[in-house]
Amino acid sequence: LSQQGSRKCVVGLLLFLALSSPPYAPLPLVSIQASSFSGLGTLVAPPTAAAAATAAEESAPTAAPDLSATPPARRSASPRVVLPPPPYLRPGEVAAERAAFEGRVDRAVRALEEGRRAQGEGRWADALALYTEVQESYPDLALSVYGKVGRALMEYEVGDVRTAITRLRVLSVEFKGYPEVHAALAAALYVEGGAAAAERQFTVATLLDQRYSDLAWLAAERHWPPTLLLHMKRFLLLQ
């Protein structure tokens, strides 16, 4: 249809609607918008009262906030409690404890060195007393293990064989991997008839340090007592 024909159709439709409506029914208002793509008009209904009210509210200016209003009161924070420092952080006590600990370490080292000197000079009883002091008086120090080992070796030399072997067994478990303990226990067990157990202990000792199979080194460097050296010689020669 041509543009003129389309307009005639629209006008005819409007006349038909007007004539078919009752005489008391008002004719709804419509507007015709021309389409850029076709000659047909688009019927657009006028806005309703509710839509007009909503549009009026949206277009109304927003009221500025009342800055004179008093803000709500903030919740009062609880007072901060400052605790005194723990006793162990007080400088005076820390210094005193450090001095006391260093004094204990010095005394333990001194006793251990004197015990080794006595052992090297062949004073077995004196060495036993000093090693016992290191073990019993300073058990919390790491160097007390040297006191335990030295005590066991000296007990073996002075004749307390059973106690020495028991102590060496405990040390071989408590300090597994200490070659001197395993070597001394091997020599002691061999003469007691435990050849298989002695062989196992000696294997562990020599895997860690081959020098424990050298009698001259044991006498000159480790200052083993003569009885233990004799029993190690018997083990090495399978006597």
pLDDT in tens, 206-222: 999 999 999 999 999 99
pLDDT at residue 48 is higher than 90: no
Which residue, 133, 182, 123, is CA-closest to 154? 123
The confidence score (pLDDT) of residue 200 equals 95
Which residue, 181, 170, 121, 118, is CA-closest to 146? 181
Mean pLDDT of 116-127: 96
pTM of structure: 0.61
Residues 151, 152, 154, 155: what is their CA dihedral angle, to the nearest 10 degrees? 110
Return the CA Rg of the chain: 54
The confidence score (pLDDT) of residue 205 equals 96
pLDDT at residue 66 is higher than 90: no
The confidence score (pLDDT) of residue 42 equals 44
CA distance linking residue 125 with residue 60, whole number of Å: 110
| Confidence bin at 116 (pLDDT 50/70/90) | very high
Q: What one-letter code names the amino acid at 162?
A: R
| Confidence bin at 35 (pLDDT 50/70/90) | very low
Provide, rounded to the nearest whole percent, the portion of the chain with pLDDT above 90: 55
DSSP summary character for residue 235 = H
The structural domains of the chain, with segments of one domain joined by +, span 103-237
Tokens describing residue 84? 């005194």
- The larger pLDDT score, comparing residue 201 to residue 51, is at 201
pLDDT in tens, 68-100: 555 555 555 556 666 665 555 566 777 778 888
CA distance linking residue 80 with residue 160, whole number of Å: 66
Ramachandran angles phi, psi of 209, nearest 5°: -155, 110
Among the listed ranges 18-27, 33-42, 112-121, which one has the minimum average pLDDT value? 33-42
CA distance linking residue 130 with residue 44, whole number of Å: 115
Asked whether 212 and 179 are in contact (CB, 8 A), the reply is yes
Fold classification of 103-237 (topology level): 1.25.40
Q: What one-letter code names the amino acid at 136?
A: E
